Amino acid sequence: MQWGNFRRSSNVEIGSSSGGGGGGFRMGGGKLGIGAVIIVLLASWGLGIDPSELIGALNGDGTPGQNTTETEPTSPQSETTAAQNPDAPFVAAVLGETEDRWTEILAPRGVAYEAPKLVLFSGATRSACGTAASAMGPFYCPNDQRIYLDTEFFREIQTRLGGCPAGAKSCEFSEAYVIAHEVGHHVQNLLGILPKAEAAEAKASDTEANRIQVRIELQADCFAGLWANKAQAKWSFLEDGDVDAALQTASAIGDDTLQKRAQGYVVPDAFTHGTAAQRKHWFVTGLKGGSLESCDTFAAGAP
Position 4 in a domain: no
Residue 61 is predicted with a pLDDT of 39
Quote the number of domains for the chain: 1
Question: In the chain, pLDDT over 70 holds for what percent of residues?
Answer: 78
Mean pLDDT of 5-26: 66
Lowest-pLDDT range of 65-74, 94-103, 141-150: 65-74
Position 244 in a domain: yes
Residue 303 pLDDT > 70:
yes
Position 78 in a domain: yes
Confidence of residue 132 (pLDDT cuts 50, 70, 90): confident
Distances (CA, A) of 102 to 95, 112, 143, 231, 292: 11, 9, 20, 10, 11
Mean pLDDT of 244-251: 92
Mean pLDDT of 35-55: 44
Position 1 in a domain: no
Looking at every residue in the chain, the average pLDDT score rounds to 81
Position 117 in a domain: yes
Which residues span the domain enclosing 188? 12-295
Position 3 in a domain: no
Residue 81 is predicted with a pLDDT of 56
Mean pLDDT of 19-38: 34
- Sign (positive/negative) of CA torsion 119, 126, 180, 113? negative
Which of 60-64, 131-135, 220-224, 253-257 has the highest mean predicted lDDT (pLDDT)? 220-224
Position 19 in a domain: yes
Position 7 in a domain: no
